[in-house]
């Protein structure tokens, strides 16, 4: 029975019961992950090596880079993608174990309510991640970062941030992806509500 559960689980994750959910999966799985995996590595891959401060000493550079990047953007966004996928994965795992067909999810109140809760939780997680992004990375990467190195040598150290303009563009793109995902999640809840009320025909 395990292969059947896995097949039902994978089909549920790849083909959600709503049209907007299917578009969200396509957008989330292809565009967003490709953008992060390929372009994210190109933009941030060698940042630590090219991050230099005055005085240009290894210990100062490492100390200031850790201050500048408490967590690297690639790691943060990868964690965000995984965490946001958890509610939907949990629902589809439940549906697979209970042998719930995709077409039954929108027809039975308990299943559709459970699914709406998973989408709503996804909205909350995306919103929290959006807020954390702003707190950690801001909306613009400056060319110069003033590092507080009082515990090492002097009060401040002037550090040069490599490819700051590219990083600003990438930040804006990731914010845009988060907003698009939030809009799709809200639209999916609206679609389910319309189907339950009979304004739209079930698939």
Closest CA to 18 of 201, 196, 200, 188: 188
176-188 residue pLDDT tens: 888 988 998 899 8
1 in a structural domain: no
Residue-level pLDDT at 24: 79
- Calculate the average pLDDT of the chain: 81
61 in a structural domain: yes
Residue-level pLDDT at 53: 84
**Greater pLDDT, 198 or 132:** 132
Q: Residue 87 corresponds to which tokens in the numbers above? A: 């509610």
Write down the pTM of the prediction.
Answer: 0.81
125-144 residue pLDDT tens: 999 999 999 999 888 889 89
CATH assignment of the domain containing 149: 1.20.1440.80
**Greater pLDDT, 100 or 202:** 100
Q: Residue 7 pLDDT more than 70? A: no
6 in a structural domain: no
Q: Residue 122 pLDDT more than 50? A: yes
Q: What is the DSSP string of 82-131?
A: HHHHHHHHHHHHHHHHTT--HHHHTTSHHHHHHHHHHHHHHHHHHHHHHH
182 in a structural domain: yes
Per the structure, the count of domains in the chain is 1
168 in a structural domain: yes
Residue-level pLDDT at 1: 43
151 in a structural domain: yes
126 in a structural domain: yes
Domain extent, residue 160, equals: 21-202
51-99 residue pLDDT tens: 888 877 888 888 888 888 888 888 888 888 888 888 888 887 887 777 7
Residue-level pLDDT at 125: 92
5 in a structural domain: no
């Amino acid at each position: 029975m395990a292969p059947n559960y896995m097949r039902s689980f994978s089909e549920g994750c790849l083909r959600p019961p709503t049209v907007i959910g299917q578009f969200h999966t396509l957008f989330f799985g292809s565009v967003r992950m490709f953008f992060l995996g390929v372009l994210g590595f190109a933009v941030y891959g060698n940042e630590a090596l090219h991050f230099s401060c005055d005085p240009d000493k290894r210990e100062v550079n490492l100390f200031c880079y850790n201050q500048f990047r408490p967590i690297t953007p690639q790691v943060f966004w990868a964690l965000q993608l995984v965490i946001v996928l958890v509610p939907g994965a949990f629902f589809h795992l439940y549906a697979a174990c209970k042998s719930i067909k995709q077409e039954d999810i929108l027809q039975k109140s308990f299943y559709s309510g459970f699914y709406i809760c998973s989408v709503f939780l996804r909205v909350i997680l995306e919103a929290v991640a959006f807020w954390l992004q702003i707190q950690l990375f801001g909306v613009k990467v400056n060319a110069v970062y003033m590092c507080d190195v009082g515990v090492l040598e002097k009060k401040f150290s002037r550090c040069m941030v490599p490819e700051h303009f590219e990083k600003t563009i990438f930040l804006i793109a990731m914010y845009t992806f988060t907003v698009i995902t939030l809009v799709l999640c809200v639209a999916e809840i609206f679609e389910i509500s319309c189907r339950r009320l009979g304004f739209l025909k079930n698939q």
